[in-house]
C-alpha cells in the first residue's frame, strides 16, 4: 500500500473497532483491519477475537506466533489501514535488509561495533558491505523462492553474479582474476585474498537455503579448479570464460554408488580408441551437485594407468536424473550415466593416471570453503535462537529465563565463536602460504576444523530444535529456519570427506611430523 493511503489513528480510535464485524488490531505501530481476513487467517478466526486482541495492541502475541516476514507478504501488507499517530515503529526486520544485525553473536566479532580484528582491512569491510547488499537484494529472495519450488537458481541471479565477477572470485585468489573488474572495482585482482572469498561464502550462507546454496554454482567451486589448474590451454580458453561468465555450468563427478572416498574403487572406465585420439567413457556417478543442469562434468575415471580426471561435455551418451535428497532439488543433485561417451583426449585434466594428484590439489580449498559456510550457518541459528528465546514467553517469562535454555545458548555461542576464530586463523595462514605450502601444512588443520565445525553444527541444530519445540520440526512459521537447518546440516558432515575420515587424516598428518626423538 502506498504510504499516502495510510491514515493515522489514536489508540482510542482503534479501540472502537473491537467486534467480529469490525475487527482492527495494532501490531507495533501499524493498524490492521482483520474483519474480512478473519475467516482466512491460517491460525483461525477465534484467536483473533480473544481478550486483548480486538481493537488492542497485539504486538506481543503477534511476535510470539509469527515471523516479521508475515507482515511483509503482499497479501498481508494490504491489511494495513494506518499507523498510530505520533509513534515511531519499534520493530524492524533484522534479516535481509542489507545491514549488520544488532543481535549479540549474530555477526562475527570483526563486524561488531567496538570490536577489533587483526585480519580484516578497510577493503574487506567495504567488500562485505557491498556483498551483503548484493545478497540481500538479489540472492536472498531467489533463494527463498527456489528452495520452495525446487527449481534451479534463476539465471537472472547467475548473470548478476557474473556482472560483478563473483563466479571468478569464488575460485579464490589467483591468475584467473587478472584483468577482471571485481565487485564493480571495489577490490583489485591482486588485492583479492582468502578473506574476501570467506566473506563471499559466508554472506551467501546467510540466505539459510542449503539446497539453493549448493545450486548457486557449488559445482563450479569444486569442478572448475581441475580445468583451471590442469586443463590444456585451448580447453581452458573455451570452457573457463563460459563458466565464469555464468553461461555454462560445470560439476565434479567423482562419487559413485560403488565408491566415494575410495577413488581406486571407482568403476567408471575410460579406454582409448585405437587411434588414441579419444576416450570412451562408460559408468555411473551418484550425488553429483549441479549435475541435473551441468553442461560440463569433471569426471574421475579408471584408466589403464590408474585414475584419470577427464572433462566430459553433455551430449550423446550422457544422461542425468535428479536424486531426491534431504535438501531441495534446487541443488540439482544428480545420478549421471555415461554410456560409451566419446571425448577428445585433449580433455584429459593433468597426467594420465595422475588423477589423484588433480583431486588432492583442490581438497584443502574445497574443505575450507565448507568450513566458511558451516561457521556462518550455525551463527544464523544462534541468532534465531536468541530472538526466539527473547520474544517467546512460557510461564509468564521469556524462554531465556530458564537456566536450561541459557545453558544451551551458551554452548552454541561458544561453539560458533570457536569455529569462526579458528577459521580466521587458518585463512590467515592460507593468505601467507604458497599453494604447495598450504598442501603440506594445512591439510591436517583444515580437516580438523571441518570435522569440528560440522559436529558443532549438528549439536547446535539438535539444541535449537529443543529450544523451538514443535516449531523446530515445522517447515513454515517461526521455526522454519531451524527445521531446514536441522534437516540439511548432516550433509555438511559428509561432503568433502566424512567426519571420521577427516579426523583420521588430521592425526595421520600430525604423526608424520612427529620428531623421531620426541619422548615423554
- Where on the chain is the footprint of ligand HEM (CB under 6 A)? 25, 27, 32, 34, 41-43, 47-48, 53, 58, 61-62, 65-66, 70, 76, 79, 476-477
In this structure, the number of other CB atoms found within 10 A of the CB of residue 15 comes to 15
Dist. CA 55–CA 14, nearest whole Å: 5
User: Between residues 322 and 477, which has the closer beta carbon with respect to ligand HEM?
Assistant: 477
CB of 467 to ligand HEM, least distance (A): 15
For residue 114, give every residue at least 6 positions away whose Cβ sits within 8 Å of its Cβ, in sequence order, or none. Answer: none
Instruction: Tell me if 207 sits within 8 A of 213, measured CB to CB.
Output: yes
- Grid cell, residue 266, equals 571407482
In this structure, the number of other CB atoms found within 10 A of the CB of residue 137 comes to 12
User: Between residues 24 and 195, which has the closer beta carbon with respect to ligand HEM?
Assistant: 24
CB of 230 to ligand HEM, least distance (A): 49
User: Between residues 72 and 163, which has the closer beta carbon with respect to ligand HEM?
Assistant: 72
- Grid cell, residue 264, equals 581406486
CB of 477 to ligand HEM, least distance (A): 3
CB of 145 to ligand HEM, least distance (A): 16
Count of helices and strands (H, E) across the chain: 18, 15
The DSSP line for 350-412 is SSTT-HHHHHHHHHHHHHHHHHHHHHHHHHHHHHHHHHHHHH-EETTEEGGGSHHHHHHHHHH
User: Between residues 33 and 256, which has the closer beta carbon with respect to ligand HEM?
Assistant: 33
CB of 23 to ligand HEM, least distance (A): 10
Residues in the chain: 520
CB of 48 to ligand HEM, least distance (A): 6
Residues in a beta bridge with 179: none
User: Between residues 34 and 413, which has the closer beta carbon with respect to ligand HEM?
Assistant: 34
User: Between residues 376 and 480, which has the closer beta carbon with respect to ligand HEM?
Assistant: 480
- Residue 477 backbone dihedrals phi, psi, to 5 degrees: 85, -160
Dist. CA 387–CA 380, nearest whole Å: 11
User: Between residues 121 and 475, which has the closer beta carbon with respect to ligand HEM?
Assistant: 475
CB of 412 to ligand HEM, least distance (A): 23
Strands (E), 213-277: 250-253, 269-272
- Residue 389 backbone dihedrals phi, psi, to 5 degrees: -70, -15
CB of 135 to ligand HEM, least distance (A): 24
Instruction: Tell me if 41 sits within 8 A of 76, measured CB to CB.
Output: no
End-to-end CA distance of the chain: 75
CB of 34 to ligand HEM, least distance (A): 6
For residue 219, give every residue at least 6 positions away whose Cβ sits within 8 Å of its Cβ, in sequence order, or none. Answer: 249, 250, 251, 252, 288, 289, 290, 291, 294, 332
User: Between residues 110 and 388, which has the closer beta carbon with respect to ligand HEM?
Assistant: 388
User: Between residues 61 and 103, which has the closer beta carbon with respect to ligand HEM?
Assistant: 61
Dist. CA 346–CA 310, nearest whole Å: 9
CB of 153 to ligand HEM, least distance (A): 24
User: Between residues 15 and 501, which has the closer beta carbon with respect to ligand HEM?
Assistant: 15
Q: Which residue is nearest to ligand HEM (CB)?
A: 43
Amino acid at each position: 500500500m502506498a504510504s499516502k493511503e495510510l491514515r493515522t489513528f489514536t489508540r482510542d480510535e482503534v479501540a472502537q473497532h473491537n467486534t467480529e464485524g469490525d475487527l482492527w488490531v495494532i501490531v507495533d505501530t501499524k493498524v490492521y483491519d482483520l474483519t474480512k481476513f478473519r475467516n482466512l487467517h491460517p491460525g483461525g478466526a477465534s484467536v483473533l477475537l480473544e481478550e486483548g486482541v480486538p481493537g488492542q495492541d497485539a504486538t506481543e502475541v503477534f511476535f510470539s506466533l509469527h515471523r516479521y516476514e508475515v507482515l511483509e507478504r503482499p497479501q498481508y501488507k494490504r491489511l494495513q489501514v494506518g499507523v498510530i499517530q505520533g509513534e515511531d515503529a519499534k520493530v524492524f526486520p533484522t534479516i535481509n535488509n542489507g545491514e549488520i544485525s544488532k543481535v549479540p553473536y549474530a555477526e562475527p566479532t570483526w563486524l561488531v561495533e567496538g570490536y577489533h580484528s587483526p585480519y580484516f582491512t578497510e577493503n574487506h569491510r567495504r567488500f562485505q558491505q557491498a556483498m551483503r547488499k548484493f545478497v540481500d537484494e538479489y540472492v536472498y529472495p531467489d533463494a527463498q523462492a527456489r528452495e520452495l519450488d525446487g527449481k534451479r537458481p534463476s539465471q537472472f541471479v547467475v548473470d548478476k553474479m557474473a556482472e560483478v565477477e563473483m563466479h571468478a572470485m569464488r575460485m579464490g585468489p589467483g591468475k584467473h582474476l587478472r584483468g577482471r573488474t571485481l565487485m564493480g572495482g571495489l577490490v583489485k585482482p591482486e588485492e583479492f585474498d582468502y578473506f574476501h572469498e570467506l566473506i563471499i561464502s559466508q554472506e551467501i550462507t546467510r540466505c539459510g537455503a542449503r539446497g539453493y546454496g549448493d545450486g548457486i554454482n557449488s559445482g563450479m567451486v569444486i569442478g572448475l579448479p581441475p580445468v583451471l589448474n590442469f586443463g590444456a590451454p585451448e580447453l581452458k580458453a573455451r570452457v573457463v570464460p563460459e563458466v565464469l561468465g555464468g553461461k555454462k555450468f560445470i560439476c565434479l563427478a567423482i562419487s559413485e554408488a560403488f565408491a566415494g572416498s575410495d577413488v581406486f574403487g571407482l568403476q567408471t572406465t575410460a579406454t582409448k580408441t585405437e587411434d588414441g585420439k579419444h576416450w570412451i567413457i562408460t559408468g555411473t556417478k551418484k550425488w553429483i551437485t549441479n549435475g541435473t543442469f551441468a553442461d560440463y562434468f569433471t569426471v574421475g575415471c579408471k584408466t589403464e594407468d590408474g585414475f584419470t580426471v577427464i572433462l566430459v561435455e553433455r551430449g550423446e551418451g550422457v544422461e542425468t536424473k535428479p536424486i531426491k535428497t534431504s535438501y531441495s532439488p534446487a541443488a540439482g543433485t544428480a545420478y549421471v550415466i555415461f554410456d560409451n561417451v566419446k571425448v577428445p583426449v585433449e580433455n584429459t585434466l593433468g597426467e594420465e593416471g595422475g588423477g589423484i594428484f588433480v583431486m588432492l590439489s583442490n581438497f584443502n580449498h574445497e574443505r575450507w570453503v565448507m568450513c566458511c559456510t558451516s561457521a556462518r550457518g550455525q551463527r544464523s541459528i544462534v541468532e534465531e535462537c536468541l530472538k526466539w528465546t527473547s520474544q517467546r514467553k512460557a510461564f509468564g517469562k521469556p524462554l531465556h529465563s530458564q537456566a536450561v535454555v541459557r545453558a544451551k545458548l551458551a554452548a552454541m555461542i561458544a561453539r560458533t565463536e570457536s569455529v569462526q576464530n579458528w577459521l580466521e586463523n587458518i585463512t590467515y595462514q592460507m593468505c601467507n602460504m604458497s599453494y604447495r605450502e598450504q598442501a603440506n601444512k594445512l591439510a591436517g588443520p583444515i580437516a580438523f576444523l571441518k570435522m569440528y565445525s560440522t559436529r558443532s553444527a549438528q549439536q547446535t541444530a539438535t539444541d535449537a530444535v529443543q529450544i523451538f519445540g514443535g516449531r523446530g520440526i515445522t517447515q513454515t512459521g517461526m521455526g522454519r529456519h531451524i527445521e531446514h537447518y536441522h534437516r540439511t546440516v548432516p550433509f555438511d558432515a559428509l561432503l568433502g570427506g566424512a567426519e571420521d575420515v577427516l579426523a583420521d587424516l588430521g592425526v595421520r598428518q600430525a604423526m608424520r611430523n612427529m620428531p623421531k626423538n620426541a619422548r615423554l
